[in-house]
């Protein structure tokens, strides 16, 4: 009897007001070279948006786009078990507290 080949996931699409974020590696030392213990990790973390939901894409009030670097609170972030060394999280847009930009938006003058 032939074994069924396990289907591998190729793409994750967040649903509703959510985005898929690739979490940055936690910093292990300060700019001055001081090593930080694991317990010193701040609960708000940064990452890069990999995919946004259709709802977020079509919402002009949300300035979130693919590849944006964001600061988010991980409380309601759902880890995605996609690969063994995975750092992917589905994050509600309400938990994204900031977007990093190179320039200030023009409409903020």
Does some domain include residue 12? Answer: no
Q: pLDDT of 24-72, one tens digit each?
A: 876 666 667 666 666 555 566 899 999 999 999 999 999 899 999 999 9
CATH of the domain at 75: 2.30.33
Mean pLDDT, rounded, of the chain: 81
- Please tell me the total count of domains within the chain: 1
Three-class secondary structure assignment of the chain: CCCCCCCCCCCCCCCCCEEEEEECCCCCECCCCCECCHHHCCCCEEEEEEEECHHHHCCCCCCCCCCCEEEECCCCCEECCCCCCCCEEEEEHHHEEEEECCCCCHHHC
Tell whether 62 is covered by a domain: yes
Residue 35 located in a structural domain: no
Residue 6 inside a domain? The answer is: no
Name the pTM for this structure. Answer: 0.72
In a domain, 11, yes or no: no
Q: Is residue 90 part of a domain?
A: yes
Residue 107 forms part of a structural domain = no
Full domain range(s) for residue 49: 18-24+42-102
Domain membership flag for residue 89: yes
């Amino acid at each position: 009897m032939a074994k069924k080949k396990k289907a591998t996931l190729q793409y994750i699409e967040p649903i509703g007001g959510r985005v898929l974020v690739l979490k940055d590696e936690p910093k292990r030392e300060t700019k001055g070279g001081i090593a930080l213990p694991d317990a010193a990790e701040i609960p708000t973390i940064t990452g890069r948006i990999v995919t946004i939901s259709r709802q977020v894409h079509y919402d002009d009030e949300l300035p979130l786009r693919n590849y944006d670097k964001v600061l988010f609170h991980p409380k309601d972030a759902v880890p995605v078990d996609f690969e063994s060394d995975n750092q992917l999280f589905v994050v509600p847009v309400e938990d994204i507290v900031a977007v990093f930009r190179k320039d200030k938006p023009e409409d903020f003058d």
